[in-house]
Structure 1
């Protein structure tokens, strides 16, 4: 059996790759983009309850996809929620766990969630945690008695971002809409 090797990468230069549909891509694609997540240049931290905030990174209304960084600033909880879509998150700072599981996510750890599962997100880390996430579909939030409280989806997160920006005189960043 042959050993797998990486594709060649011997030159740091742009290569003109042939592609039959380049004209369509140039005309219709929103294109790649860079969003600065380290500063507030592209997106501010928007409050999400008393101890958390969200830095919105991308909104895709066609697929009900949204990306953000959730920052829980100190030990705390993001209430019980039920996922109706797939969630992919990476722990950036601190640590976090779900009461429903026996693992603790630490920096660099990957968290995968599937539709139909409910979770209660907790950080006991003295400095809280930051989680980068790509989320798809609605998320239903419930109170401590399992009463439905709110559904969040791409439209909720767009409203969360835009309302905060308008109230604080911050320009809406079109790069966030893919």
Structure 2
């Protein structure tokens, strides 16, 4: 096994030069969203009364989505299972799962293991909860005994966005900028 010869350190001027070669033709363009928590209420897609999601990235090619969940009510949001991992970062407020003794609080990170089934709750003392989630694969909604009652995946989320944005005046195609 051979290794490349160490390269001489770059000059300061060379370090500040952008990459000079073309990006791969097959690569999707990057996606930059100036405000993940938007002021324009039309961008928040309703899930149910006082519960919305703001899509950031809908990866149809890899089967995951990034979104911000906003809740302005106390109560049970959903009981669901994930066959793939989920990552969450609490931006505002707090939430918990009935099945665990921890509380996800502002500034906290949560990793949800594949196969986990849990019931998301926002407690009465929380005025507003906002959390960034990366959901891989599917959210399978279940009753307390694990019987399937529905599901969401990146494609159902795209459909919900398309229908909602068409009704708000943003247009059904508004969601297209978020699909990769």
Matches within 5 A, 1:1-178: 14-17=16-19, 22-25=21-24, 27-35=25-33, 36-39=35-38, 44-124=43-123, 125-144=125-144, 146-171=146-171, 172-178=174-180
Show CA shifts across 1:43-95 (max 9, x none). 71111112311111111111101010111112122121011111000011001
1:43–1:34 Cα change, 3 Å? farther
Contact 2:161-2:175 within 8 A present in 1 as well: no
Using the size of structure 1 for normalisation, the TM-score is 0.82
Q: Displacement of 1:154 after TM fit?
A: 0.4
Q: Displacement of 1:14 after TM fit?
A: 4.2
Unaligned runs of 5+ in 2: 1-11
Residue aligned with 1:28, SS: coil
Q: Displacement of 1:37 after TM fit?
A: 1.8
Partner residue, 2:9: none
Task: Please identify runs of 4+ aligned residues in structure 1 that moved more than 6 A.
Answer: none
Larger Rg: 2
Unaligned runs of 5+ in 1: 1-9
Partner residue, 1:4: none
Contact 1:76-1:128 within 8 A present in 2 as well: no
Using the size of structure 2 for normalisation, the TM-score is 0.81
